[in-house]
Amino acid sequence: MGTGLDTTEPLAGRKIGVVAVQGAATPHLAMLRSVGATAWAVRVPADVDGVDGLVLPGGESTTISMMLERNDLWGPLGEAIADGVPTLATCAGMILLANEVVDGRPDQRSFGALDVTVRRNGYGRQVDSFEADLDVTGLGEPLRAVFIRAPVVERVGPDVEVLAEVDGGPVLCRQGPIVASAFHPELSDDTRVHELLSW
Ligand code: GLN
């Protein structure tokens, strides 16, 4: 588990852009900086220049979609993701990467870079938020995960590796340089999800 500014940290010195047009960018920035990464907020196209990695945080995917449009970020971010820049997408971020979104708003867009079908707010109103201890492939100790109006992953494509499940449903997936979680790994002091990427 990553704590402190140790240069043996996998994230130390990495230059990571955290998309910050709406939603939970601040805790991602704090967590990445706590393990020695150089992390900055991505708000305009020039902020994408020189990134070693990207984070698409949680928030409201419909609003993030609209703000990416307004800030001319769909192009530069889409190119970086298509070029294989390691990308961590959490909750709304996962929705923004999914190549199929159920219960989305008709005008919301997606990068289509992750071969999954997600249902927005799929866990339903009665369980808007919950926490679970996850057994994650490749990690030892269980990971405490916070879910907030999380998407349900209803289908995964053949190139998607499921790293953790809740009740048989995928909640943490990897497809090449992309790691996507239905939960909020930035809302704890456990940096292991961020470290799953080979930034
Ligand atoms: N329900 C939100 C959406 O549809 C995602 C929630 C979150 O990111 N915590 O975008």
* DSSP per-residue codes, 66-82: HHHHHTT-HHHHHHHHH
- Quote the mean pLDDT of the chain: 93
pLDDT at res. 73: 98
Mean pLDDT across the stretch 171-198?
94
Is the separation of the CB atoms in 6 and 36 below 8 Å?
yes
Model-level pTM?
0.94
- Distance separating alpha carbons of residues 135 and 172, to the nearest angstrom: 10
Mean pLDDT across the stretch 114-132?
88
pLDDT at res. 5: 43
C-alpha 122 to ligand 1 mean position (Å)? 10
Please work out whether the CB of residue 89 comes within 6 Å of at least one atom of ligand 1. no
Write the CB contacts of 137 (distance below 8 Å, at least 6 apart in sequence): 161, 162, 163, 164
Asked if the model's pLDDT at residue 91 lies above 50, the reply is yes
pLDDT at res. 10: 80
Please work out whether the CB of residue 37 comes within 6 Å of at least one atom of ligand 1. no
* DSSP string computed for the chain: ---S--TTSTTTT-EEEEE-SSSSHHHHHHHHHHTT-EEEEE-SGGGGTT-SEEEE--S-HHHHHHHHHHTT-HHHHHHHHHTT--EEEETHHHHHHEEEEET--TT------EEEEEETTTT-GGGSEEEEEE--TT-SS-EEEEEESPPEEEEE-TTPEEEEEETTEEEEEEETTEEEESS-TTSSS--TTGGGS--
Residue 126: which pLDDT band, with cuts at 50, 70 and 90? low
pLDDT in tens, 11-56: 889 999 999 999 999 999 999 999 899 999 999 999 999 999 999 9
C-alpha 7 to ligand 1 mean position (Å)? 34
Residues annotated as catalytic (active site), given as ranges: 91, 184, 186
Please work out whether the CB of residue 148 comes within 6 Å of at least one atom of ligand 1. yes
HEC per residue, 165-178: EECCEEEEEEECCE
Residue 8: which pLDDT band, with cuts at 50, 70 and 90? low
Asked if the model's pLDDT at residue 6 lies above 80, the reply is no
C-alpha 151 to ligand 1 mean position (Å)? 7
Counting ligand 1 atoms within 8 A of each CB, the residue from 95, 128, 131 with the most, and so the one to mutate, is: 95
pLDDT at res. 127: 66
Please work out whether the CB of residue 104 comes within 6 Å of at least one atom of ligand 1. no
Asked if the model's pLDDT at residue 165 lies above 80, the reply is yes
pLDDT at res. 128: 82
Counting ligand 1 atoms within 8 A of each CB, the residue from 96, 148, 181, 187 with the most, and so the one to mutate, is: 148
25: phi then psi, degrees, rounded to nearest 5: -75, -40
pLDDT at res. 125: 66
Burial of 5 (0-12, 13-18, 19+ CB in 10 A): exposed
pLDDT at res. 92: 98
Name beta bridge partners: 16.
39, 53
- Distance separating alpha carbons of residues 151 and 36, to the nearest angstrom: 30
Ligand 1 atom nearest to 58, measured from its CA: 8
C-alpha 5 to ligand 1 mean position (Å)? 31
